[in-house]
Amino acid sequence: MRSKSSAQWLQRQHADPFTERSKKEGYRSRAVYKLIEIQEKDKLVSQGMQLVDLGAAPGSWSQLVSQWVGKHGRVIALDILEMAPIKNVEFIQGDFREIIVLEQLDKILNNKTLDLVISDMAPNLSGVPGIDQPRMFYLAEYALEFVNKKLKKGGNFLIKVFQGEGFQEYMTQLRQVFCTVSVRKPKASRSESRELYLLAKNFRG
């Protein structure tokens, strides 16, 4: 028997035009439309870029950016979870915080730095803000640590976070290492969701 919350989630999914659209257009999740809106506004991804998609599974963002970077670009997806193959996307399964995963990435990149890091990842949610909020920023801190090591000077970083405790402190950290930091709330983000996207541009290196 389904719980009330899972039944509500299913009802919301069925009524969601972005979910229906993603099925029709062959994308793995509705999250692509968040990235499309950001791309239209900010021109984040361009041909020939080398980028990493952190926490990529099920892979909808990787699907999209692999088209945008073109044949001279490179997309590397990282996730703890399994992910079905995507054309022109190289996948590393593992925790991006672990040395063995970073070594695999360095081998693929031949120790070159990245033009862009994108992250739509989130922790396993409990539904309790007091638990989920610190978990989210714990991941975000590690993502920023990854960026500090792997992003080239002048590169960009897009990450999902939750509005609430820790948000302003994280913004401050980003502003210390990037020239500009902007907040984005795409239309495809559900209005009741606390999720926001932080777009950090021009890494100081």
Looking at residue 5, what is its pLDDT?
44
Could you report the per-residue pLDDT of 134-178, keeping only the tens digit for each? Answer: 999 999 999 999 999 999 999 999 999 999 999 999 999 999 999
Could you report the per-residue pLDDT of 39-98, keeping only the tens digit for each? Answer: 999 999 999 999 999 999 999 999 999 999 999 999 999 999 999 999 999 999 999 999
pLDDT top residue among 196 and 28? 196
- Token readout for 53 is 């998609």
Q: Nearest Cα to 143, choosing from 162, 117, 165, 163?
A: 117
pLDDT category at 27 given cuts 50, 70, 90 is low
3-state secondary structure of 38: helix
Looking at residue 126, what is its pLDDT?
84
pLDDT category at 1 given cuts 50, 70, 90 is very low
pLDDT category at 15 given cuts 50, 70, 90 is low
CA–CA dist 106, 48 (Å, integer): 18
Looking at residue 9, what is its pLDDT?
36
Looking at residue 7, what is its pLDDT?
46
Q: Nearest Cα to 167, choosing from 131, 136, 121?
A: 136
Looking at residue 8, what is its pLDDT?
45
pLDDT category at 38 given cuts 50, 70, 90 is very high
Is 23 an annotated catalytic residue?
no
Phi, psi of 142 (to 5 degrees): -70, -35
CATH topology of domain 29-203: Rossmann fold (3.40.50)
**Position 12 pLDDT exceeds 90:** no
CA–CA dist 10, 141 (Å, integer): 32
Whether the Cβ atoms of residue 120 and residue 199 lie closer than 8 Å to each other: no
pLDDT category at 30 given cuts 50, 70, 90 is confident
CA–CA dist 4, 24 (Å, integer): 28
Write down the domain spans for the chain.
Answer: 29-203
pLDDT category at 181 given cuts 50, 70, 90 is very high
Pairing between strand 74-79 and 89-93?
A: parallel
pTM, full prediction: 0.87
Catalytic residue among 160, 185, 187, 201: 160
Could you report the per-residue pLDDT of 89-123, keeping only the tens digit for each? Answer: 999 999 999 999 999 999 999 989 999 999 999 88
